[in-house]
Chain A
Amino acid sequence: MRRILIVDDERHLRLLYRRELEDDGYQVVEAANAEEGIRAFEQQRPDLIVMDIRMPGMNGLEAMARILDKDRRVPIVLNTAFDSYRDDFTSWAADAYVTKGPDTEELRRTVRKLLEEREHLGPGEL
């Protein structure tokens, strides 16, 4: 079963994403801030990370950079209320950029697509 790490300071949003992604058949791990997210990544080794950007303390872009330092292959989806970070070149390192909204369809589609792409590549190719 694919394991997905959700990093977001909004408890109910994490819960919503967990429910939706679990419905889609993934195992979900949660982290409430960037530091916790980095620790969770190291311990749980998720197949994909959904990362909020604006969080108290370290922001999502910095956390993404740290995680990519350790593992350049893990797909990361930036998930934020604003699309203004699209222009921030740091965000270009992400595999996808999804704007938050009540409709979780885009997020779920993106997650599915990224994980399928990874499937095709096979281990050791990156």
Chain B
Amino acid sequence: MSEREIRTAASREQLLDLLDANGVQLALIGPGRKVLWASPSLLGTRGPRLIGGDCHGMLWRREADCRTCRREEVLSTGVTHRSWIPEGRGGAPGPRRLLVQVRVGPEEILEAVIDTALSDGEQAYEVFRERVLAEGLRHVPAGVLLLDRELRIVAANPAASALLGRGEWELRGAHYPAVFPEGLYPAADFPTPAELASHRPIEERELVLGSGLERRVVRACLAAVPGPDHGLAAAVAVLTDVTRQRSLNEALARKVGELTLLREMSLVLSRTARLDRVLRVVLAAAVHPGGLGMHAAALFLAEEGKGVLRGRLARRAPAATGPARRGAAGHELEALAFDPPAPADRAVETLARRLAVPLGQSGHPLVLALSGASPVQIYPAGALEAAEPALGPLLERCPVVLAPLIDQGKHLGVLLGAVTPGSGFPDEDELALAAMIASTAAGAVERARLHDALSDRLEELREASARVRNLQVQVLKAERLSAIGELAAEIVHQIRNPLSVVGGFARRLARHFPADDPRSEDVQIVLDETRRMEAILERIRQDVRLARAPAGRSLDPGDLVRAVVARYRDLALERRVRLSARVEPDLPPVVGDRDTMLEVLDNLLSNAFDAVGEGGKVTVRAQRLKEAVHLVVEDDGPGIAAERLEQIFEPFFTTKVGGTGLGLPLSKRLVAQCGGTLSADSRPGEGARFRILLRPQDTAGPVPGELPEETDDATDPDRG
């Protein structure tokens, strides 16, 4: 703009004449240090190839040192100048020369070399100032004021006049700081002429002129022109309208802020895959002053299976902490998202969770928003409350913005934002940001849902594999038990015959000795020991026989408990053991074989009686816990040490005198054959508890393998 205007200026001829006459050389330098225009005297000495060439080394090569080019400084400060005394003819110092560089466009610099000693010094300089530069700068887009040593305006160009809102002639004679509206440029702030002369660049500030649409941001830069006495000879003020640049900067800052916000939000979201946390982060971005700065926000997610759009989470904006600026650090978002919610937030959260809009209500604003017909929908104050009165306390009669959460064509939900009162209706940029936050949210929500689904499957797989492993262990144990059972049966059989022979002949001997024969006692010992061995074999035989019992019929757990307790009534009386049965009413029938279970319970009761001894207590219970029916045999005997609890189900592990070590392992196996489990727990010193879990007949699948937490201790008068 400046280049073209200077070239076509009506006063160009006149200007050039004046320049020549005043020994002033002018050049316009454009981007890339390209010489765009030069005054005729320069063209005359440098040749026509100067135009379009690099200014370095071509323009002021004799006068100024291009190695200290201040191009960047000029472009940033607007104006600079320097003076030097060139070497004249015969080595004598030449007249002082002055280089003034003024930025006249974003990348353009108008440079002037002025020979201050052209005629008789200062007077010529005044002429130059008044006539040449003022004329030359007439077409410069920047406002230029030429000031005398008292900083009174001697010339102003039209741009300066326009910026200051005063005529050129009106400005003349005015003191520089006073041309600005009162208070903007206090005299106390202003440097003295001496200070001005000794500093470079001097005095630069941004001033806001006018208001409303007329508002202008003006950058005022005051450069001193040192005179031959090194004092202040004159000064040049360049006023640049930076309004547009400033607003561009603001817009840029805002965009950078938005990008920062989205990036930080994505980062925070990438750190979590849990849906509830994802939703909290999204809401934080919506209400954060550096995000959408909403007064309140809520999230609704579509539940396809139930055919509703359900409120999931809502929150209000945090208490104001400072001026709103776009952009929020990740830790701010995280703090806002995950700090414990305020009571007011809990209230609106509950409010939102109660809301479920049927997806069939196609006219409902939320369902309409979900359809994604437009990236963002705006409802004026009160409009959404009319459709959904329950949201009143959340919206508080604010205008509402609705943005759909859509990921890869899946309509996942809706982000609702209540616009902060007094902030005006959201502008296009804010709507675009809302849409972007919604889109980022959609991706994270979908990811969280997939993650949840995947973890569920993973958990199922883990459980299944644990079950399989458990089964494998059980199968191995069962096989081992089976082998042991067969071996035991074989041993019993093999030993029984010779034992019968020994016992039989001993009996014959005993019959033949008279009672008083001392040998009769010896034979009696043989007979007793034979009988003891026979008893051991018989117990093993019984235990082994347990393992062959059938399984899988239906039986009444209460009946089972009563039957087995009945078997032990006499023994209890005899040993003064307090034996009791407790059967919960209305127990369902369980899967199992009556004879087998009787054998198992018999075995457990027999153990319990052995454990408590005289005067002890044995309780048999049947109760329902969760899915399973529990048959519990507990005693108040010495109990079982923790490290032995596992071993007691191992074959041949016994602590009982006369025990075979097969009863419990085989019992466990029998219960397993009925689809149940047998387990033991104990508090040493307080007693032991054996627990059979059986599956009610009306449920499918095995009973839960793990023993559930004991829940009845507190209410059980017998324990605790």
Contacts and interface: CB of A to CB of B under 8 A. Distances in A.
A6 B497 CA distance: 15
Given A101-B534, A102-B499, A102-B531, A16 B504 contact: yes
A81 B496 contact: yes
A100 B496 contact: yes
Nearest to B499: A102
A19 B508 contact: yes
Contacts of A101: 496, 500, 503, 534
B493 A16 contact: no
A102 B545 CA distance: 21
A75 B313 CA distance: 90
A12 B492 contact: no
B497 A10 contact: yes
Given A101-B534, A102-B507, A102-B531, A16 B501 contact: yes
Contacts of A82: 489, 492-493, 541
Nearest to B501: A12
A10 B501 contact: yes
Contacts of B660: none
Contacts of A104: 504, 507
Contact of B498 (A12, A15, A20, A54): A12
A116 interface: no
Contacts of A13: 497, 500-501, 504
Nearest to A16: B504
Given A102-B507, A102-B530, A81 B493 contact: yes
A88 interface: no
B475 interface: no
A23 to B, nearest CB: 8
Contacts of A20: 504, 508
A102 B500 contact: yes
Interface in B518-542: 527, 530-531, 534, 541
Nearest to A80: B493
A81 B504 contact: no
Contacts of A102: 499-500, 502-504, 506-507, 527, 530-531, 534
A103 interface: yes
Interface string B603-642: 0000000000000000000000000000000000000000
A110 to B, nearest CB: 15
Nearest to A9: B497
Contacts of B338: none
B508 A100 contact: no
A16 B505 contact: yes
Contacts of B531: 102
Most A CB within 10 A of own CB, among B498, B504, B508:
B504
Contacts of B500: 13, 16, 81, 100-102
Contacts, number: 53
Contacts of B541: 82
B501 A81 contact: no
Interface string B477-498: 0000000000001001100111
Interface string A66-110: 000000000000000110100000000000000011111000000
Most B CB within 10 A of own CB, among A81, A84, A103, A104:
A81
B516 to A, nearest CB: 22
B541 to A, nearest CB: 8
A101 B534 CA distance: 8
Interface in B332-353: none
Contacts of B504: 13, 16, 20, 102-104
A10 B496 CA distance: 11
A82 B492 CA distance: 9
Contacts of B497: 10, 13, 81, 100
A48 to B, nearest CB: 19
Most B CB within 10 A of own CB, among A19, A101, A102, A103:
A102
B501 A103 contact: no
A104 B499 CA distance: 12
A82 to B, nearest CB: 6
B494 to A, nearest CB: 8
A82 B493 CA distance: 7
A103 B507 contact: yes
Nearest to A87: B548
B508 A103 contact: no
Contact of A81 (B492, B502, B503, B506): B492
B150 to A, nearest CB: 133
A111 to B, nearest CB: 15
Interface string A50-76: 000010000000000000000000000
Nearest to A101: B500
A12 B489 CA distance: 22
Contacts of A12: 498, 501, 505
A12 B500 CA distance: 9
A101 B499 CA distance: 7
Contacts of B498: 10, 12
Nearest to A17: B504
Contacts of A84: 545
Interface string B243-275: 000000000000000000000000000000000
Nearest to A23: B508
Nearest to A107: B504
Nearest to A82: B493
B291 to A, nearest CB: 82
A54 B492 CA distance: 13
Contacts of B501: 10, 12-13, 15-16
Given A81-B493, A102-B503, 17 more contacts: A12-B498, A13-B501, A16-B500, A16-B501, A16-B505, A82-B492, A82-B493, A82-B541, A100-B496, A100-B500, A101-B500, A101-B503, A102-B499, A102-B527, A102-B531, A102-B534, A103-B504
25 contacts: A13-B497, A13-B501, A13-B504, A15-B501, A16-B505, A20-B504, A20-B508, A81-B493, A81-B497, A81-B500, A82-B492, A82-B541, A100-B497, A100-B500, A101-B496, A101-B503, A102-B500, A102-B502, A102-B506, A102-B527, A102-B531, A103-B503, A103-B504, A104-B504, A104-B507
Interface of B: 489, 492-493, 496-508, 527, 530-531, 534, 541, 545
Identify the 6 closest CB pairs spanning chains A and B, nearest first: A102-B503, A81-B496, A16-B504, A12-B501, A81-B493, A10-B497
